[in-house]
Structure 1
């Protein structure tokens, strides 16, 4: 499933300590926290916002001295409930050159998402604890293992989340079915 992302995001409603304790018990360890500044752009030839349900994003990310460019197309396209996305991402040597390139081609900046992320890995799952400026705290579970289909990856991701036994006090709140740019732009 190269170039396909399957993830689920939840609001954190309390301390993440209970979830982190459970991940530690499963053998996961945290990576170093990093700051990610994501700038999202709109295309001049196809207005990403001109759909009832926004399903595409173009992003330039700067993270701790590195940079990448990324395009995501969420599926099903017209559905407000997405199951996965096509994701095409590549590192770039010069984020400012990419910004200028996009501006020269009449791409316009839509929003900036500034977050601090601490990522854990266990059993083919990445668990990212995000503190997003202006939005609050979230946790994302992304399937990183091998799967033949989106349905298989989703089932394994849901089994992992369900197997965490997260009861009251674990800090996990409602599931969020929108991306951070949706939230910063008020596209709920």
Structure 2
């Protein structure tokens, strides 16, 4: 079983952070607009169980994602299951309707401009996401997907990376929760 280990930080000094990431050799992809539509289970409240179910649309692809409860208080470490949707334009919206028909309720959408990149740090490929969230501002995320046996080393590696960039304490609250507060 794979786990997503993620650290997120509010961006305070954007130009300096981007320069530091460039100095570390980040390879950026183009910026995309993503809309994450979140749904709640008909028989249990995902806000109480710390789970998430979303449909992500970004124009070129659609992903159906389940995130389990967090297992770490310093990072957003959790089981993540993803399924790519074959035809994003048609099937992404059909998937939303499918969930509603099954009794899931729509909670809220998170709309963001996301620029992803890959960064090699201590011989590990780290996914970097530079996000501008509608209604919240700018954030940077660092992510590794690892097996359960590698959780501690992944957390340590991301902590070292964020410290080397002079970032403060990571934010463990998700964008959805921030928007709903």
TM-score with structure 1 setting the length: 0.84
Report the aligned-residue RMSD.
Answer: 2.1
Who is 1:106 aligned against? 103
How far the C-alpha of 1:80 sits from its partner, in A, is 6.1
Name the CA distance, whole Å, in 1 between partners of 2:156 and 2:84: 30
Residue segments in structure 1 that go unaligned for 5+ positions in a row: 167-171
Name the CA distance, whole Å, in 2 between partners of 1:45 and 1:96: 23
- Structure 1 pair 67/174, CA: closer, same or farther in 2 (3 Å)? same
Q: Aligned pair count?
A: 173
How far the C-alpha of 1:143 sits from its partner, in A, is 2.1
Who is 2:135 aligned against? 134
- Structure 1 pair 29/22, CA: closer, same or farther in 2 (3 Å)? same
- Structure 1 pair 143/173, CA: closer, same or farther in 2 (3 Å)? same
Residue segments in structure 2 that go unaligned for 5+ positions in a row: none
- Structure 1 pair 132/173, CA: closer, same or farther in 2 (3 Å)? farther
Q: Does the aligned pair in 1 maintain the 2:75–2:170 contact within 8 Å?
A: no
Answering whether residue 154 of structure 2 is matched by residue 153 of structure 1, we say: yes
> SS at the partner of 2:28?
coil
Answering whether residue 83 of structure 2 is matched by residue 75 of structure 1, we say: no
How far the C-alpha of 1:62 sits from its partner, in A, is 0.2
State the Cα deviation string for residues 104-157 of structure 1 (Å, max 9, x = none): 101000010000001121111111110000111111111257884211110111
Q: Does the aligned pair in 2 maintain the 1:72–1:88 contact within 8 Å?
A: yes
Q: Does the aligned pair in 1 maintain the 2:74–2:170 contact within 8 Å?
A: no
Who is 1:39 aligned against? 37
Answering whether residue 92 of structure 2 is matched by residue 95 of structure 1, we say: yes
